[in-house]
Structures are given as structure tokens and as C-alpha cells.
Amino acid sequence: MNNTAKMKRELTPEEIHHEELMEELERTRWRRYWHQIKKSWPVYVMLIPVILFFYFFRYRPIGGILVAFKNYDNYAISIGESDFYGLYAFRYLIVGPQAERFWQAFRNTFTLSAYGLFFGFPIPIVLALLFSEIRNETYRNITQIISYLPRFISTVVITSLIGLMLFQGSINQSPGILNTLFAKLGWIEEGGAVMTEPEFFRSIYIISGIWEGAGYGSIVYFAAIMAISPTNYEAAKIDGANKLAQIRYVTLPGMAPTLTIMLILRIGDILSVGYEKVLLLTQNQGLSVLSTAEVISTYVLTLGGLWSSGSGSGVSFAAAADLFNSFIAMFLVLGANYISRRVSDTSLF
Amino acid sequence: MKRLDRSELIFKIFAYVLVTVFVLTTIYPFIYSVSMAISSDSAVTFGRVVLWPVEIQLNAVTDLIVGEWAKSFWIAYTNTLFYTFYGTIFSMTLSIFAAYALSRRNLVFKRQIGFFIVFTMWFSAGLIPTYINYREMMVNNRWGIIYGFGVQAFNILLLRNYFNGISREIEEAAIVDGANEFQVLSNIYLPMSKSALATITLFYALNRWNGYFWNMRLVQGTEHPLQVVLRGIITNASNTDDIFNYPYSEFSLAYAAIVLSIIPIVVIYPYLQRYFARGVNVGGVKE
């Protein structure tokens, strides 16, 4: 009762003026926009190419998601010509004949990421700490520059080097250098197969990932460490802190915001394992390695006939698997970003 | 020199040793590749190369540059140069324009356009629909590869943030003097954001140079870039059951191809690294 009474009360002159102003602005909105666009038209011309690009190559494919709900098994026909099959492809993957392989790929994706996070995440941090200890600037610069280098080398080169160095040997060629080394260390038998064996795949993937990315990954932590004021260390030393205590009570708290964000972002990415490296590592290595190596993205490409060994008869199933995965992945990314914004006022978007 | 207490000294030694070990591990495969490429047939075949070249021969390298494999190798190399050059120009032009437009304060529909771009970072259609779309959009030739790839929302945002940080006063002075938007962009914004531009250029160029899968999938034969041809050479080399009648090991050929493919990166990289070490700051990106 009280509320309606309030709403019906007379408007003050200021409020009437304000409302009139808003109405006027609303009425002239399009004219103002037009005026604005005419005044700085080059800016809008500049936006045209990027909008076209994003429309044709990022938004237009979204319509193609329909194939996941259709019976589409041939790239030569158009999506419109194929029949609707509803959720058949999803049932086929999640509980149907493909369930075992699909869930295996799903588990592999998660496991590979989780192990990569667990072993790969701390190493750039440690490396940044070590770099910050090196006070000889020339030596530090040189070592840092070298350590970033592998990040710029193509996946083809890196996976090929791995394959060649772990090569098990044949009649015409002795085993690769790493194969020989591991045999000497007793980890594998002499000339033993490595690349084809499921039990080695995760180690290969993760260790080579560290080799590639740790140096480059240390940049952001190194910057965080360098931003800590030296007086904090002085104060800690006066309080009797030794080096470990300084790291524990000065360095780590100082880089905590960076650390948190990077960790959250990595967790958000946990369901997106790139396909290129996995495909190249397992190419021509037989089927048994796939029991740990096949991830959702490579499964999608194989099933969809876009990778050599695939037949291409499962395009709809492949699209369904992809959609299922990217849907979950999207929520993980958005969630991670939301949490990151909450805890540190920093977010990617 | 400051006095170090014992724990600090130990940690420092520890740091020097570990960093040195890490860097040696990083650089070892590169040196080893060069050595394998130029060592003799028997040294490679019997695994006598450990670090430095053994019984040097240069046939594998020369056969790739001027001999037996030169033709397909150089076609691939030229293709990659083509894709990298035009592709990077294409990507940079679009990104700079978009970033500049989004950095205008009174852009009409600014929020909507920003969302239109950012959304592509959250959700992508997936591999199969992307492939179907590439087929439909005629991304199956040289120019298709140029226009079909290459603008990433993340890079636009990175550049937009950089542009936002540039003081408006110079720009206003220029506008008073009668500069139009294109002049403001090219005479004020671009020269003032060199390190961000260098970083993004580097990443676009690297994506083009290193790209494998879609190039392999979408274009054919003589249009294939280096990475695809390189992979072919290495796959053949690893299949050592074939008879290989050359005065060097097939592995030498594979390593030689690897070395030749990364030379441009190793040469250009030291000049560009000072930019990206400053320019990349993931933690500071915010809308």
C-alpha cells in the first residue's frame, strides 16, 4: 500500500526535467549514433574486416554444430541435406557402442592435463626463483634467452626429435640416443620400444612439455619476483631469516597473486589438450599406445576422418564428442575466470 | 659486495648449478641435431654421435639445399615464407584496426562489438564444424590459408589494452591540428606501442611458420608448407627398413631437414626476445 502511494506522488520539477531529458535522448538516439559514426567514420571502416573475419570463421561454423544432431557422414553433402537424428550420436558415445573409447579419451584428456599441471606447474616457478638468484646479468640474460627458445620451435620438430631420439633401433640403424641412455639407466631394455608403449606416453608428453615450456613459463613469475622490493629481504634478514625463510616469507607471498591467477587459468584449461602434439607423437606408432594417448580432440579428428587412420564415417559422432567436451570446457574456463576475478581482481576477459 | 650468510651462499651455488644444467638440457638437442646432420653414415648408423659431429660429411645438407631433395624442399620453404609473410600482414592489419577501434571511448555499440570478439575466446564451434566451414569457405588454396586463419581475440585485447594505456593528450593535440583517424593511428599509436606490436607480430608469424595440421589437411602437394614436408621426410627416415642408397644415413637427412627448418627462428629470435619478455604479461590483461 505504502509503495503504490509513493509511486503515485507528484514528481518534482527536477524529476520532470530529468525524464524529459531522458526521453529526448531516447528519441534522438539513432540520430546521435549516426552523427557519431559520420564524424569518425574511419573507425567504423576499420572494424569491417575484423567483423567479417569473425563472422565467417568463428561464428559461421557454430551453425555446423547441427551435424552432431544429424546423420551426416560425408563432407561432400551439405549439412542441410542430411536427416535429423536427434540425440542419437550422444547416446551412441555416452552409453552406446563407442562408450568405452569415448570415456577412455575423456579420462585420458583429464589425466594428461592433471599430471601436466601437477608436474609442470611448479617447475617454471622454481626456475624463476633460480634465475632471480643469478646476479651476473650477462649470464642470466643468456641463460634466460636460451631457456625460452624451445617455445618457438614447431610441434613437428619437437615431436620428430622425440621420435628420433627415442627410436628403438632396427637392422639398419642403432637406437636413438635417449633410448640408449634409458637402457643404460635400466629404465627400459636395450633397444626396447618406447614410443609405441602406452605406459611411457604420459611421461614423454609431460617431460617434453616441461622442456618446451618451462623457460618461457618462468617469464611471468620472474617479473613478479623482480617486482618485490629488496627492502623486504633486508627486513627479513635483520629478523634472522635464512634463505629458505626468505623465500617462504617474502618471495612466495610477493608472487602469490600471479601464482593464483596462473593456477586458476591452468585449471580452467584442464579439458583442452591440443591435438597436434598427440597426433604427431602417436603417428605410425600402432594402436596400443592410444589407450593412454588418445584424447578427446584426437579422437574427434580420427573419428571424423580428418586424420590419416580415420575412416570418416563417424562425422556426426565426432562432432557430438567435440560438442560435449567443449561445452564442459567452456564452463571450466568461465568458472576459472570468474574465480580469478573474485580472488585477485584480475581476469582474462 | 654484500655479505652473504651461509644459506644464501649455498642457495646461490645451487641456483647457478641448476640453471646451467637446465640450459644445457635445453640446448643439447639442437647441438645434437646439427652433429647428426653432418656426421658420417657409419657414425650415425652405429650410434657413435653423442654430442659433437663424428667424421664430418656435408652431403645430407647439400642434397637438401641443391641436390636430390632440393626441389620439394625449397618449394615447401617458399610456401612457408609466403604463408608467414602475407599471413602475418593480414593478421596484424585486422588486429591493429580492431584494437584501435575498440580503444575509442565513444565508439557506438562498443560493448556489443567487444562481446562479439571476446565470445570467440569462450566458445568455439569445434573441430568438425570448423573443417566443414573451411570447405565451404573455399579455404583450400594458398590465399585461403591466408584469409582463413590468423586473428585471435586474445591478441586484439592485448593490443587494445596497450592502446588504452597511451595518453590521450598527444592524440587530442593532433586532432586539433587536423589529423584524421588513420593518421592518429599510424603516427601516434603505432610508434608508441612498438613492443606490443613486436610481440604480437612474433606470435602471429610463429603460428604461421609452425602450423601443421590445418595446412596438411586443407591444401595439397605443392602448396604444402615446410612443416608438412618436413614431417614427410622424417617419417620416411624413421622407416629404416627401406634401402637408402646415399653416402649418409637417412637419419642425417632427417636431422638436416630439422636444422634447416629452425635456422630462421634461431637467427631472428635473439633480436625479438627483448620485446616479448617485456610485452607479454598475461597477469595484467583485463577488460
A337 and A223, same domain (yes or no): yes
Instruction: Write the CATH number for A242.
Output: 1.10.3720.10
pLDDT for res A242: 85
A132 and A175, same domain (yes or no): yes
Q: Which residue has the higher pLDDT, B10 or A81?
A: B10
Integer Rg of chain A from CA: 28
Out of A47, A145, A265, name the one closest to residue B113 (CB). Answer: A47
A34 and A160, same domain (yes or no): no
A99 and A39, same domain (yes or no): no
Out of B8, B50, B154, name the one closest to residue A243 (CB). Answer: B8
Model confidence at A230: pLDDT above 80: yes
Over residues B26-77, the pLDDT tens digits come to: 999 999 999 999 988 888 888 888 889 988 888 888 888 898 888 888 999 9
Q: What's the pLDDT band for B240 if we cut at 50, 70, 90?
A: low
pLDDT for res B278: 60
Taking the CA atoms of A168, A173, A176 and A182 in sequence, report the sign of the dihedral they define.
positive
Coil, helix or strand for B39? Answer: strand
CB contact under 8 A, A131 and B156: no
CB contact under 8 A, A177 and B49: yes
Model confidence at B279: pLDDT above 60: no
Over residues B63-117, the pLDDT tens digits come to: 888 988 888 889 999 999 999 999 999 999 999 999 999 988 888 888 899 999 9
Over residues A142-185, the pLDDT tens digits come to: 999 899 899 999 999 999 999 999 988 887 788 888 998 999 89
Q: For residue A181, tell me if it sits in a domain.
A: yes
pLDDT for res A346: 55
A60 and A197, same domain (yes or no): no
CB contact under 8 A, A161 and B29: yes
CB contact under 8 A, B212 and A175: no
Question: Are B90 and B146 within 8 A, CB to CB?
Answer: yes
Q: Which of the residue ranges A51-65, A255-269, B163-177 has the most confident prediction, judged by mean pLDDT?
A: A51-65
Q: For residue A31, tell me if it sits in a domain.
A: yes
A62 and A101, same domain (yes or no): no
A93 and A230, same domain (yes or no): yes
Average confidence (pLDDT) over A58-65: 89
A26 and A95, same domain (yes or no): no
What is the distance, to the nearest Å, from the Cα of residue A258 to the centroid of all Cα atoms in its chain?
17
Range of the structural domain that residue A331 is part of: 88-344
Average confidence (pLDDT) over A194-207: 91
Domain extents in chain B: 71-228+264-284
Q: What percent of chain B has pLDDT over 70?
A: 93
B 209-268 residues with CB < 8 A to A: 209-213, 217, 227, 230-231, 234-235, 237-241, 244, 249-251, 254-255, 258, 261-262, 265-266
CA distances from A145 to A138, A142, B26, B266, B275 (A): 11, 5, 11, 11, 12
Q: For residue A5, tell me if it sits in a domain.
A: no
Mean pLDDT of chain A: 85
Taking the CA atoms of B156, B159, B165 and B166 in sequence, report the sign of the dihedral they define.
negative
CB-side neighbour CA atoms (13 Å) of A258: 26
Q: Report the domain count for chain A.
A: 2
Out of B15, B95, B156, name the one closest to residue A133 (CB). Answer: B15
A127 and A196, same domain (yes or no): yes
Q: Give the CATH number of domain B71-228+264-284.
A: 1.10.3720.10
pLDDT for res B277: 63
Over residues A84-127, the pLDDT tens digits come to: 888 888 888 888 888 888 899 999 999 999 999 999 999 999 99
B125 touching chain A per CB within 8 A:
yes
Model confidence at A309: pLDDT above 70: no
Q: For residue A236, tell me if it sits in a domain.
A: yes
B156 touching chain A per CB within 8 A:
yes
Q: What's the pLDDT band for A348 if we cut at 50, 70, 90?
A: low
Over residues A66-81, the pLDDT tens digits come to: 888 888 877 777 777 7
pLDDT for res A3: 52
A47 and A195, same domain (yes or no): no
